[in-house]
Copies of this chain bind each other. A is one copy, B any other.
Amino acid sequence: MNLTLKNLNKIAVLGTGNVGQAIAKALSSKNYNVTIGTRDVSQTMAKDKPDNMGNLPISIMLKENTNINLSTFQEAIVDADLIVLAVGGSNVFSVLDLAGPIQAETVVIDITNPLDFSKGFPPSLFTDSTESLAEKIQSKYPHIKLVKSLNTMANSIMLTPDVLKDQGSNFICGNDSGAKEIVKELFVTFGWDKTSIIDLGDLSGSRGMEMILPLWIKIFQSILILK
């Protein structure tokens, strides 16, 4: 069955970090049936302290949002109408391996960034300008409908653009036009102006979207230094 906004119900959000938490909370607030996927549920729930970036553990968020489920990646994607990739870029393929076979034609929103922290901060990218991480994912999983979006903005904005006075640009790209249209419609229900959603065409548009991160991180650093 083709995904439409009307038959969209079960959503799997893969990733328990800030991005996964923000997306899950926003989707759940509109009564979607949200399951967050993680590697090991009991290990994830055992974390009760902020990480070294000051981010709160998901166990606290889940206590306040009892309608959001937590399961393994594999369980999360069962019968999911929509999957959201919200893991660190370097974990994408191990996470998809653990999740197992994704149903053909499933729409997958890819929020990941190919950040390489192995040489410290600021990170470099582990991809180059000839093939993005999104293109690598689509190439390995050609039967899914990958839509790249939201990776260029803070998680506090992604599905809550009303916090902004000026929405700026929400870039989107993907090889399947129908999948992109559903995702755009979904964004509009969360408050994105249609004119703020900039369609960059096929998935090659994700190269530039992923390459904005090094600039973003430098701007962020320069603001922190100024403060």
Contacts and interface: CB of A to CB of B under 8 A. Distances in A.
B222 A216 contact: no
A37 to B, nearest CB: 29
Contacts of A130: 119, 124
A104 interface: no
Interface in A161-209: 169, 171, 173, 198-201, 204-205, 207-209
B222 A215 contact: no
Contacts of A215: 171, 200, 208-209, 211-212
Contacts of A201: 218, 221-222, 225
A219 interface: yes
A13 to B, nearest CB: 26
Contact of A207 (B169, B198, B200, B214): B214
A204 B218 CA distance: 9
A217 interface: yes
A128 interface: yes
A204 B222 CA distance: 12
10 contacts: A124-B128, A124-B130, A125-B128, A200-B221, A201-B221, A208-B212, A208-B214, A208-B217, A209-B215, A211-B211
A18 to B, nearest CB: 21
Given A124-B128, A124-B130, A128-B125, A222 B208 contact: no
**Best-surrounded residue of A209, A216, A218 (most CB of chain B within 10 A):** A218
A221 B201 CA distance: 9
Contacts of A173: 218
Given A125-B128, A201-B225, 5 more contacts: A124-B129, A200-B215, A207-B214, A208-B219, A212-B215
